[in-house]
């Protein structure tokens, strides 16, 4: 490939959770090297993290403003920045790097308001920059194969979608003070207007949109606050009307005892259905109206060759979350490489979660909150 790209990171210090996962995902394909960062609001933590990651101390910064300004002046400026901070800081951080003409990968949800997300898109467009959003689950091989099944019409016209993302971490009362990685999520000052829907509900919306291509026409949401009634949602039940006439039910929960990280879906059409679970990511259940159901694995001959060509390990080996996330990053990085060569990007080069997906996630959050606040009424999307 030639010389590696370089990137910087905002957030993701030694004690963080998701920042470390981002770095592992990027490292898997060895196409980009971490060379700069501001990993914490505490500069001592940034320095300690930077030393551990063997980064030149001259490229460790006290804050994101300094980082964006100084990196933009360098002849060897970073090719992109990875933003892995709490929700409330995404907008200003991403805006600063875009204005410094640096490509951006940002954690989800993209911002805390739809207006902010749309402003970021305009800045990225004006400066001809690539912007990816960390909807990591779209990188799973069998989820990408599910998309091809729907595209080819193998299950017919989609009639109904049932999807959930449920976990138990907030059910462990009192959770406050037990895990600093999670505390900020339920605080409106850092999380915005939603906790559960903004944190994991957007993954449901993104995955269903990715696989089916369907757009939401209207929704009706009930957002519950079981653990902290005076703060943000920890459970949500959402009814969906899609643009093709299909219906759907989404369940997003952080109080579901017995579930650590259960993201799954069933998509039911006129000719058949497909079912997938993140915790059994190697397998896809495919049912046809005129044929017994089959469970296909990642190694099945039915899986398209162009999907298999992207495997890190061959079928028969379990594909994990980091591999899926790495595929998202790999497609983003490949697009940056092609752009740097002066080549025109085609639609197939943008097969990663873009800023448009981030905007749609923000619209989903705001419409759910609006519906719930109005007594769970139907809201046009």
- Residue 58 is predicted with a pLDDT of 97
pTM (predicted TM-score): 0.95
Res. 9: pLDDT tops 60: yes
Bridge partners (DSSP) of residue 241 are 218, 247
Segments in 241-320 forming alpha helices (H): 305-308
> Three-state SS for 230?
coil
Q: Both 240 and 156 in a single domain? A: yes
Q: Is residue 113 part of a domain?
A: yes
Res. 175: pLDDT tops 70: no
- Residue 224 is predicted with a pLDDT of 98
Res. 2: pLDDT tops 70: no
Bridge partners (DSSP) of residue 229 are none
Could you give the number of structural domains in the chain? 2
Mean pLDDT for all residues in the chain: 95
Q: Both 64 and 170 in a single domain? A: no
- Residue 188 is predicted with a pLDDT of 74
- Residue 139 is predicted with a pLDDT of 98
Q: Is the dihedral of CA 114, 119, 122, 123 positive or negative?
A: negative
- Residue 191 is predicted with a pLDDT of 81
Helices 141-151 and 321-340 meet at what angle, rounded to 10?
70
CA proximity to 208, closest of 147, 157, 155: 147
Integer Cα distance of 159 and 270 in angstroms? 7
- Residue 232 is predicted with a pLDDT of 93
Kindly state the average pLDDT of the residues 299-322.
94
Q: Domain span at residue 169? A: 140-311+361-380
Res. 358: pLDDT tops 60: yes
CATH number, position 368:
3.30.360.10
Give every CB contact of residue 285 below 8 A, 6+ residues apart in sequence.
273, 274, 275, 276, 293, 294, 295, 296
Neighbours of 263 (CB within 10 A): 23
Kindly state the average pLDDT of the residues 73-83.
97
340 backbone dihedrals φ, ψ, rounded to 5°: -65, -30
Integer Cα distance of 95 and 120 in angstroms? 6
Q: Is residue 164 part of a domain?
A: yes
Q: Both 90 and 169 in a single domain? A: no
Q: Is residue 337 part of a domain?
A: no
89-98 pLDDT per residue, tens: 999 999 999 9
- Residue 182 is predicted with a pLDDT of 60
Res. 102: pLDDT tops 80: yes
Q: Both 121 and 251 in a single domain? A: no
Identify the burial level of 204 via C-beta atoms within 10 angstroms of its C-beta, where 0-12 means exposed, 13-18 middle and 19 or more buried.
buried
Integer Cα distance of 203 and 278 in angstroms? 11
Integer Cα distance of 161 and 246 in angstroms? 8
DSSP-assigned letters across all residues of 203-226? HHHHHHHHHH---EEEEEEEEE-S
Query: 194 or 316: which carries more pLDDT confidence?
Result: 194
Q: Both 71 and 34 in a single domain? A: yes
CATH number, position 104:
3.40.50.720
Consecutive H or E run containing 371: helix 355-373
User: Which pLDDT band, with edges at 50, 70 and 90, does 184 fall under?
Assistant: low
- Residue 71 is predicted with a pLDDT of 98
User: Which pLDDT band, with edges at 50, 70 and 90, does 178 fall under?
Assistant: low
- Residue 193 is predicted with a pLDDT of 95
Q: Both 181 and 304 in a single domain? A: yes
Integer Cα distance of 374 and 364 in angstroms? 16
- Residue 109 is predicted with a pLDDT of 96
Kindly state the average pLDDT of the residues 342-364.
97
338-349 pLDDT per residue, tens: 999 999 999 999
Kindly state the average pLDDT of the residues 361-377.
98
């Amino acid at each position: 490939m030639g010389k590696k790209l370089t990137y910087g990171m905002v957030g993701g210090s030694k004690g963080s959770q998701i920042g470390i996962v981002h770095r592992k995902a990027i490292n898997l394909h060895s196409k980009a090297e971490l060379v700069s960062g501001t990993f914490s609001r505490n500069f001592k933590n940034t320095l300690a993290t930077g030393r551990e990651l063997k980064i030149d101390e001259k490229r460790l910064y006290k804050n994101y403003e300094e980082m964006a300004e100084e990196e933009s002046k360098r002849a060897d400026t970073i090719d992109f920045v990875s933003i892995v901070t709490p929700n409330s800081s995404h907008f200003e951080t991403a805006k600063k790097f875009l204005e410094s003409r640096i490509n951006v990968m940002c954690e989800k949800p993209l911002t805390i308001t739809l207006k902010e997300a749309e402003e970021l898109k305009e800045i990225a467009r004006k400066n001809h920059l690539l912007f990816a959003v960390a909807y990591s689950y779209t990188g799973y091989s069998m989820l990408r194969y599910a998309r091809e099944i729907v595209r080819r019409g193998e299950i017919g016209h989609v009639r109904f979608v049932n999807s959930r993302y449920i976990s138990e971490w907030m059910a462990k009362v009192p959770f406050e003070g037990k895990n600093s990685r999670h505390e900020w999520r339920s605080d409106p000052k850092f999380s915005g207007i939603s906790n559960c829907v903004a944190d994991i509900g957007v993954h449901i919306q993104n995955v269903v949109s990715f696989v089916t291509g369907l757009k939401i026409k209207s929704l009706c949401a009930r957002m519950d606050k079981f653990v902290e009634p005076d703060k943000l949602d920890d459970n949500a039940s959402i009814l969906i009307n899609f643009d093709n006439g299909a219906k759907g039910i989404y369940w997003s929960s952080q109080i579901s005892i017995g579930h650590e990280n259960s993201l799954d879906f069933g998509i039911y059409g006129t000719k058949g259905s497909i079912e997938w679970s993140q915790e059994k990511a190697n397998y896809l259940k495919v049912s046809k109206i005129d044929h017994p159901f089959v469970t296909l694995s990642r190694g099945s001959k039915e899986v398209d060759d162009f999907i298999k060509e992207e495997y890190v390990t061959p079928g028969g080996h379990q594909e994990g979350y980091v591999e899926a996330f790495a595929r998202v990053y790999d497609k983003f990085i490949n697009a940056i490489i092609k752009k740097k060569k002066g080549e025109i990007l085609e639609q197939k080069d943008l097969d990663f979660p873009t800023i448009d997906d981030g905007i749609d996630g923000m619209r989903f959050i705001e419409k759910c909150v609006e519906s719930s606040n109005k007594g769970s009424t139907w809201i046009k999307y």
